[in-house]
Amino acid sequence: MSYETILFEVVDGVAEIRFNRPHRLNAVTDQLYTEFNDALSEAEADRNSRVVMITGEGRAFCVGADLKAHKAGRTAFDRRQYLQGEQIVCKRLLELKKPVVAAVNGYALGAGAELALASDFLLMADNAQIGLPEVSIGNFLGGGVTWLLPRLVGLAKARELVFLGERIGGDEAVRIGLANRVFPADGFIDAAREFALRIASKAPFSMQLAKEQLNRAAERTLDACLTAELEGMMFVGTTRDWQEGIDAFAEKRTPVFKGE
């Protein structure tokens, strides 16, 4: 498909989606949400892609809503449709059947931070900043962040991040459990791609089941989790990838999984 606000390509099993509005620091519009959602569908359906990586062109990941684009001529209905667009995309990231890596190469603010937090892995350049300024400017949070943030950093720290609206860097984000890794800005995208490639080498069905179970475990009882795990183990045992994993272990080689 042809896109105007994003760039999309699949290389070595990684479906890379780049926000492509660098002149506006990749601020989001209705069109960007629509195209991003379409690209996620394309990546999920592509058997050659094992992992999705999202990042931004230029010096920002995404600075949130493009206020200039929303300034005039928008009805209350238009505004609600736009806001719901973010909710749809963030829920999609959380429920996508493939792991999602957010490579935060610069500012990730507001909706940009929420998109990054909805991903399975959050990587940051050492000069990047992430923050949730909504309450500080009379706005409110979206993208499921009120559900997700306390699960990541605990309720006390979530309150601090939301009420103060302060931007934090990669080292602090990793320290509090908001981000997974921080890499030097010089060569950051290459490091993020290498991280994504390591995930792409794992067994697709196993990753899909692990993502679903980890995201839902907090809402399930122990017995429900044990049942889901048992069903998962039984299912993957019927796949060719399971046999490949066993054979590779016995032969002391790296397994080559095919999603079969």
Active site residues: 114, 134
- The torsion angles phi and psi of 122, rounded to 5 degrees, stand at -120, 115
Q: Give the span between the Cα atoms of 229 and 227, in whole angstroms.
A: 5
Nearest CA among 141, 35, 33, 130 for reference residue 89: 33
Q: Give the span between the Cα atoms of 161 and 180, in whole angstroms.
A: 17
Q: Give the span between the Cα atoms of 26 and 55, in whole angstroms.
A: 10
Q: How does DSSP classify residue 14?
A: E
Buried-exposed string 144-171: b where 16+ CB fall within 10 A, e elsewhere: bbeebbeebbeeeebeebbeebebbbbe
Please give, one letter per residue, the 3-state secondary structure of 173-229.
HHHCCCCCEEECCCCHHHHHHHHHHHHHCCCHHHHHHHHHHHHHHHHCCHHHHHHHH
User: Which two structure tokens, joined as six digits, stand for 109?
Assistant: 């603010």
Q: Give the span between the Cα atoms of 194 and 18, in whole angstroms.
A: 16
